[in-house]
Chains A and B, each alone.
Chain A
């Protein structure tokens, strides 16, 4: 049959199912296909902490939200247009995120009495038949049954057949959105190159889903979303943790220092370890340590030896590393500490996002212990930001904290990647000559940075440690004047980093005005979308996103004073707001969300409208 074809500007699809239903894979495949087609996009995977929570229950629901369009996309979107629900629990958990009048595609087999009971539907009354979904467009397909029928003669077992049902849904959506299936076909061919019978089954089901759209009258309309107008160049799709790992390797290559990662597995940071472990041919050494403390300490050992020492974790693991971070700042060795933040405190919300470790990064050590802090604003921005973090660490001989979070770590977006020769060089020079009658390990250069003389350098044998040290000689010193001098010196060095960073710019809007929305980290996309909409409505509002938090760009204080109101949305109770108020005496106000979920654009827009 011929369907209507409607052109849309943007669509938000949420794939939801049991954590064993393969929704992350389905979402990723649709995403990559959209990216290759030229859509702009943003994704947000949302999965349970449990590897396999009890099947059919709400805690077991795994989701993947994709926002793609022919216009610029800044966030995964607030409410979805289409909800794919593989079972009753997936519907129940996600219905509130669906727009009124939106489309629901359900697998009816996931709404049998057992699934209804597990999803806590009262009296096992199916929402598919009780009229409660009347205000939505409901597409019901017995995916399980059709998949079984499709593979009846495949010779595969029930379990393997059941696993292929996500391909049916994917095929159906490819039909619905006029997509080529070639990317997924190639993906399956690679993935199952050694299992031809599984490959054949998946391809068969994928095509069955597509053909089902074509031949059944289930969905009368197909949609076209044209490519987005993006700056010219070559793009790839990238997730935040992947961008972080690649940024680290780039910094290693451009600085000429081999990369050493000391890490202990932790959600949501482990994928950086996994990604780096794949790239040993870059001279990358990954060390899965016995604990968080050994992870950072081994990285300090590597830095002492003249390598690019890195440790990755999430807030609670960072807490364990705190003492060693203090050591690194006393030793004045370069070190990168990566915190992919998640919901806290304590074990908190392992798979959910939050920005609540800012105080920890800025203040969370004993003694006067300033460390530069830098935060990435999006998945792709992790690359450039972590590269910049490495530059600071190496040029200023200091530990640097890089903040990401679960949202951008697992989220993805198109990335116009650079060529290697476009990357700023990172200068590293080991000291090989005496800098006095004898070697002075704490004699500083114009950056207030000390010489890096690594073991193996003849004549420069010296000792460093965590005890307070005498200016220049580095000898142990308990002299009161010297201690105060050194505390101020270490702080001055970190402040000096501001000389090497760009001024704070306005992302959108004017350099002066009524409202400035000031963000940091992963709130970027939601703020960006909200400010665009507000300005379209004629509201005098601008947007700035801070990358450098310690030290701030030099012009930030003056810039903030150009606005009547400074609004700071954060996924915490107001940590940047407190720092800004303290530092600049600006009466910033907060918009705070602590729900383990990123901001919706509408939430920020509503606050802007309230202030306007």
Chain B
């Protein structure tokens, strides 16, 4: 059909598939994350050439090779720093950082917190599998105490990070959590991450079926998911449970689980989630108890914990450049070479 329409045909997820064979272990949670990213990115209306995926080292960091965009597979822990320099100089690009719990929270911990505080407008997808996969099974900074691994045959004595609480402490402006096994939620969180102007931290629980299989099972499997998780929605009460029969109330600053069926409490008594409430985000981030036998532990939250719109680093940086040019005029190299005082030898 002859056409005069010169607009580029809409991108599909197939346009984002590269010629490289995907080499994660069969059954790895990374496959799901890749699929959801490849599904969501075409919806965003960003030309493929303006998208950059930057990763560090680890299983997750192979990700850029599988995305038909610009990409860099860098060095351990440093994707955040590389992305900072790219975004500072090319603010128009859509920059995505792919990282893992070892990459971002251990070797790259310093860059992670500084990225969050500077608030570059980038998306950081933190694949958390609570283990070192690529190096074949050592504990990570998110592994639980007592974790038995190759490097901790008697159990780990390391206390783990709480990534959400860490990100809040580092002045993150968008902090969310999702999981590999919930594609619908994950896609929604990817859209939200992209929409946020500032550094968007999305922690994704990802199953490593080889070295840490089932570590998030209690949150992801049908049999326990409804009891063990709570999905945060802005301006909605915190309800969870098999039959949406439980809720979270605040007793002062202390969250308590209440039954919605015993006649003592109704939905109207519950804590209503407010994504812009930093104090409550802090309390939510502490819903981090390890599910143990018995009752009473708080469900693990998924969704957007916190969002706040504040200035991005690159905006401030570019504003200074523009201001300097306006005030002093575009730099004149001859004047710079000459400097202040000169003298002549004849």
Contacts and interface: CB of A to CB of B under 8 A. Distances in A.
A545 interface: no
A234 interface: yes
Contact of B83 (A290, A301, A419, A462): A301
B84 A236 contact: no
Interface string B38-55: 000000000111111010
Interface in A464-483: 464-467, 475-476
A324 B90 contact: no
A419 B334 contact: yes
Interface in A509-542: none
Contacts of A461: 48-49, 68-71
A456 B343 contact: no
Nearest to A417: B337
A279 B49 contact: no
Contacts of A237: 341
A236, A238, A294, A303: which has the most chain B beta carbons within 10 Å? A294
Nearest to A333: B72
Interface in B86-140: 86-90, 92-93, 110-111, 114
A106 interface: no
A414 to B, nearest CB: 8
Contacts of A285: 88-89, 317, 321
Contacts of B69: 461
A32 interface: yes
Interface residues of B, number: 60
Interface string A223-254: 00001001111111110000000100110010
A300 interface: yes
A455 B73 contact: no
A265 to B, nearest CB: 15
Nearest to A473: B19
Nearest to A323: B75
Interface in B290-346: 317, 320-321, 323-325, 327-331, 333-334, 336-346
Nearest to B339: A236
Given A282-B331, A301-B81, A456 B49 contact: yes
Interface string A273-308: 000000111111101011101100111111111110
Given A281-B328, A282-B331, A298 B84 contact: yes
A305 B86 contact: yes
B74 A465 contact: yes
A285 B89 CA distance: 8
Nearest to B69: A461
Given A235-B343, A461-B69, A456 B331 contact: no
B82 A304 contact: yes
B86 A301 contact: yes
A35 interface: yes
Contacts of B89: 258, 260, 285, 301-302, 305-307
Contact of B73 (A262, A457, A459, A463): A463
Contacts of A183: 341
A287 B84 contact: yes
B84 to A, nearest CB: 5
A465 B64 CA distance: 9
Nearest to A308: B89
Interface string B129-173: 000000000000000000000000000000000000000000000
Interface residues of A, number: 73
Nearest to A36: B343
A283 B343 contact: no
A327 B342 CA distance: 43
A298 B88 CA distance: 9
A584 B194 CA distance: 58
A464 B50 contact: no
A159 interface: no
A185 interface: no
Contact of B338 (A236, A290, A458): A236
A235 B344 contact: yes
Given A38-B343, A236-B342, A302 B78 contact: no
Contact of A327 (B18, B75, B321, B334): B75
Contacts of A233: 344-345
B15 to A, nearest CB: 10
A307 B89 CA distance: 7
A399 to B, nearest CB: 14
B82 A298 contact: yes
A460 interface: yes
B20 interface: yes
Nearest to A419: B334
B67 to A, nearest CB: 8
Nearest to A246: B336
A465 B325 CA distance: 36
B50 to A, nearest CB: 6
A301 B84 contact: yes
A232 B339 CA distance: 18
Contacts of B271: none
Nearest to B86: A301
B49 A459 contact: yes
Interface string A388-431: 00000000000000000000000000001111100000000000
B65 interface: yes
Given A32-B341, A232-B345, A234-B342, A306 B324 contact: no
Given A285-B321, A418-B337, A458-B47, A297 B110 contact: no
Given A280-B324, A305-B90, A250 B333 contact: yes
12 contacts: A234-B345, A283-B331, A293-B78, A297-B82, A297-B84, A298-B82, A300-B82, A323-B75, A324-B78, A418-B337, A455-B49, A455-B52
Interface of B: 18, 20, 47-52, 54, 64-65, 67-75, 78, 81-90, 92-93, 110-111, 114, 317, 320-321, 323-325, 327-331, 333-334, 336-346
7 nearest A-B pairs in the assembled complex, by CB-CB distance = A301-B85, A465-B73, A298-B85, A282-B331, A297-B81, A280-B324, A301-B86
